[in-house]
Amino acid sequence: MTVVIGIPASAEDETRSPITGDVVKKLAALGARVLVQRGATDAAFATPESLGDVDWAPTSAEVIAGSDIVWTIGNLSDADAAALKPGQVLMGLLTPYAGAAHATSLAERGVTAFAMELLPRISRAQSMDILSSQGAASGYECVLIAATRTPKFFPMLTYAAGTIRPARVLVIGAGVAGLQAVATAKRLGAMVHGYDVRPETREQVESLGAKFVDTGVSAAGEGGYARELTPEELAQQAKALAKAVADSDVLITTAAVPGKKAPVIVSRAMVEAMKPGSVVVDMAAEGGGNVEGTVAGKEMLVGVPG
């Protein structure tokens, strides 16, 4: 029996695709067929020609009805999720902690769901590690977003009239995304500082040519993630970070705790103390934000008159 893998369209603002032409070839070699909703891969520039030998369907309902396994980037729409049948498999970034009711509904209907973000980040699972690749891309993109919006030059520029000092960039969170942000800002010529509550990240930040901000707070957790801070540790962290934030032209925050709301690390007062024209990029916005007042999907320019 041939296994059919279905690719329905993702949310309107989603530009990633769970399938590429190379993957289609590998699946075909294993005897599987791929059923794709028309237009589902367009935003990722995975054209019909580049995908190769796949089957097409006009709607997500037809894809789900004709598939044994459904691949998606984020969660399906309510209507598509309701159309899943007992025995089907759903795979993707399913945010199980934030959508417990959704996960329970799938289980009750006999749907097997694999939330790919829960794969352990260990050597045996490296070939399936989805978070590292997405974190690296996100950290890189955060720096580009900041560089296009800050009035400061990232690199030092010297010309006949004098020298312009490079921008000061502070990256909070030294996971995959944060380290990629540090490396990218450094490559662009900025003066970069990095911070994380896990003490082992100091060496990683400094190996990329950045300076480590030491707050005296150490909160290493399990699985390479940080644990939640106590109120006393939060107060100590905020006091030590306040000056580093105020001195920065660009602040990039990437801190997250699996299964929890993103920790608020930067207060509104700390943001207001930044220089006019400073830029904040909060990568944790969808999880509640590391910066007080962050709203997912909206821009925030700090200190602009009016």
Catalytically annotated residues = 121, 126, 129, 132, 225
Residue 125 is which amino acid? Answer: A
User: What angle separates helix 176-187 from helix 130-149, to the nearest 10 degrees?
Assistant: 40
Answer for the pair 119, 128: CB distance below 8 angstroms, yes or no: yes
- What the block records as the tokens of 89 is 């498999």
Which residue type does 36 have?
A: V
Within 8 A by CB and 6+ apart from 22, the residues are none
DSSP state of 220: B
Are 301 and 274 in contact by the 8 Å Cβ rule? The answer is: no
Judge contact between 262 and 234, C-beta under 8 A: no
d(Cα 242, Cα 118) in Å, to the nearest integer? 33
DSSP 226: B
User: Tell me, what DSSP letter sits at residue 42?
Assistant: G
- Bridge pairing between strands 55-57 and 33-37: parallel
d(CA 31, CA 24): 11
CB 106 within 8 A of CB 84: yes
